[in-house]
Amino acid sequence: MDEIVINYDESKVPHYELPDPLIFEDGRPVTDANAWPARRAEILSLFEQHVYGRAPTSGAAMTSEVTSVAEGVLGGLATRKEATLRLTGNSSHLDMHVLIYLPQVRNGAVPLFLGLNFAGNHTVHTDPGITVPTSWVPNYTHLGIEDHRARVESRGAASSRWAVETILQRGYGLATIYCGDIDPDFDDGFKNGVHGLFPRDDRAGADWGTIAGWAWGLSRALDYLETEDAVDASHVAVMGHSRLGKTALWAGAADPRFALVISNDSGCGGAALSRREYGETVKRINTAFPHWFCTNFKTYNDCVSALPVDQHELIALIVPRPVYIASAAEDLWADPRGEFLSAVAASPVYRLYGFDGLIDDVVPEVDVAIHTRVGYHVRTGGHDVTSYDWAQYLDFADKWL
């Protein structure tokens, strides 16, 4: 295998030209907001064909069961609810376990943040009432999860990334699902998880990968939230970090029911421009994680400039809904500048609808947030979700959600 060279030198970023989201494939310009839905459909299809793959539109049935409800938890701050969503198809099934926190005191249905977690619902808080998963869990040594026996001890291990009490105090709910419930994060030839619910073919070029599977699962969770009287399902923000930030962007692009979309350090295949080839590249991500994207994406490993889309168009698919892109100054792997420039290049589509986007290509100072319809910040520190990030997301949601 050829050595994959990782570039962290801006002077070595290749010259590139981005595809224009406001030019139809036949060369016609998009002149106003009325023409955008047709162009949006073209771009969405290109991402399905060349990057994430096409998710099935039918073939799996879903039932739901509330498995626990507890009032006055977290010192009286919250109602905690757990529900199991059973998805059935192709003579098999899988169970998605949803953890929901709602403000204990609320006037009517509440807006809500929805996001996947990496290692089990019990890792997002020390709350002893959260059910510990029995399914496959990866070895996340940094979270104290090195084998199945470490699960109980890892309760609350990722709590610094979730700001549960702050979210509730601001009047929002929070729902989360362990991503491995939807599709385990390893390459097994697409036999497990959601892929097993549908007839399997030979993984032809545009068949969906794991990120599309996770995004599909988020839409099924939204289906369920639409049945919850205490949740305002028309005001659900989808949020994700790292690979789950890529997922949140694709979920928000593919499913316009998500009212706000948040990408935290999503990098290559997420918010960062692929053509910059800075930090993690298309070739590197497809080599390390061959199951994340569709097979067609691999054909661009050595010719990224030939991709018919780039990630600014992924952000543009969210228009006119608000989107927030967050970077971290020390997270060069995720290419903070590439994430910012992607948001800048998507902004002309927002301006079609009369919204301010990002005005120029000068990256803002560290820890200075921009809250136009396209939100952005680059904060101090590395690859993580911090209280600063959540403070911006909540302020942004107050403004737009």
Active site residues: 242, 383
Among 236, 241, 303, 308, which residue's Cα sits nearest to residue 270?
241
Q: How many CA atoms lie within 13 A of 361 on its CB side?
A: 7
Residue 126: other Cβ atoms inside 10 A? 13
Angle of helix 36-47 relative to helix 243-254, nearest 10 degrees? 140
Output helix, strand, coil percentages for the chain, rounded to the nearest 5.
35, 20, 45
Alpha-carbon gap, residue 77 to 101, rounded angstroms = 9
CA angle 350, 267, 249 (to 5 degrees): 45
Alpha-carbon gap, residue 384 to 224, rounded angstroms = 29
Alpha-carbon gap, residue 253 to 270, rounded angstroms = 11
Please give the C-alpha separations between residue 35 and each of 5, 19, 21, 32, 79, in angstroms, as whole numbers.
41, 17, 12, 6, 44
Which residues fall within 8 angstroms of residue 307, CB to CB, at 6 or more apart?
A: 50, 51, 274, 275, 282, 300
